[in-house]
Amino acid sequence: MAFFDTHTHLDYLHQFTQEPLENLVQNALSAGVEKMLVVAVLQRDFETIKNLTALFPEHLRYGLGLHPLYIKEHILTDLDVLEQYLSQRHVNLTAVAEIGLERAIPELTAELVWKKQCQFFEAQLYLAKQYQLPVNLHSRKTHDQLFTFLKRIDVAQKGVVHGFAGSYDQAKRFVDLGYKIGVGGTITYERANKTRQAISKLPLDALLLETDSPDMPVFGFQGQPNRPERITNVFQALCELRTESPEQIQETIWHNSIDLFG
C-alpha cells in the first residue's frame, strides 16, 4: 500500500535525531510512505526546506508559510520573502504551509498579538489564492474563527485542516467549503472520542493522512519523536473506525492527497 504523509516537519526531525536524511526517507519508503509534504514554520527555514526536498524530488513535496505559534517572531518582510518563493514556483513547491490560527496559548490571544495572527493569516490566504496553491492549516481552539476567514477568502485550490481534533459538526463545515480534514495520531487514542466519531462519519473523499512528524506521537510511542513511517499506525486506527475496506480507504486517500499536494 502506498501512503502520502501530507504534513511533516522532516527538517526538524532531521535536526532533532541527527539521523541522515537518507535514512529518514528510506525508513518511510520501507513502510510504504511514497510521498511526504514538508511544511515550514519560519521564514529562515524556507531555503533549507527547498534544498532538502530537492534531494529526493520523487518523494518529497514542500509548502512554505509562517506558522501562528511563532507569530511574535514574524515580521512583515517575511511575507515579502514568502511571495518571492511562491512567485518562483519551484516544481515541488505545492502548498502554502503551515499557516493558520492559534488560541490554545494564552499569550498568543492578547489583543495585539491576535490581531497580528489574523493579519498574517489573511495575507497568506490571499497569497495562496494569487498563486493558485492549496493551504495546509493549523487550527487550535480556532475552528470558528478559521472558518470565517476561509468562507470570506475563496482559496481556489482549497486545502486541509491539519491534525484535526474537534467535532463532526466542526469538521463538516470545513468539508462543505471544499476543505479536507487531516487525520493524524489523535485518532490512535481511545480517549479522543469526539474526534474519532467525527472521522468515522465524514465522507472518505474528505480525508487525508498525516503524522506531523516529529510532533503528534501516535499511541504507544509517547515521548518519542514521531516519524513518517508511523502513518501506518494512523491508517490502522482509521480502518478500525471506518466501514470501507482497507484497500478502498488507502486508494481513496492516496488519490485525495495526490490531487491536492502531488
CA–CA separation, 102 and 142 (whole Å): 6
Helices 76-88 & 46-54, crossing angle to 10 degrees?
20
Query: What pLDDT does 232 receive?
Result: 97
Query: For residue range 118-134, what is the model confidence (pLDDT) as tens digits?
Result: 999 999 999 999 999 99
Query: What pLDDT does 220 receive?
Result: 94
**Positions of the chain with pLDDT lower than 50, given as ranges:** none
The answer to whether the CB of 137 falls within 8 A of the CB of 161 is: yes
CA–CA separation, 121 and 117 (whole Å): 6
Query: What pLDDT does 173 receive?
Result: 97
Instruction: Give the ranges where 55-189 is alpha helix by DSSP (H).
Output: 76-88, 111-130, 143-152, 168-176
CA–CA separation, 21 and 13 (whole Å): 9
Measured on CA atoms in the order 133, 54, 88, 97, is the torsion positive or negative?
Answer: positive
Query: For residue range 31-63, what is the model confidence (pLDDT) as tens digits?
Result: 999 999 999 999 999 999 999 999 999 999 999
CA–CA separation, 42 and 184 (whole Å): 22
Biggest CA pair distance of the chain: 49
Determine the 3-state secondary structure of 70 from DSSP. helix
Query: What pLDDT does 89 receive?
Result: 86
Query: What pLDDT does 1 receive?
Result: 87
CA–CA separation, 94 and 236 (whole Å): 27
Query: What pLDDT does 121 receive?
Result: 98
98: preceding bond cis by omega (within 30 degrees): yes
| Long-range Cβ pairs for the range 54-60 (8 Å, 24+) | 54/90, 54/92, 55/21, 56/21, 56/25, 57/91, 57/92, 59/25, 59/28, 59/29, 59/34, 59/35, 60/10, 60/25, 60/35, 60/36, 60/92
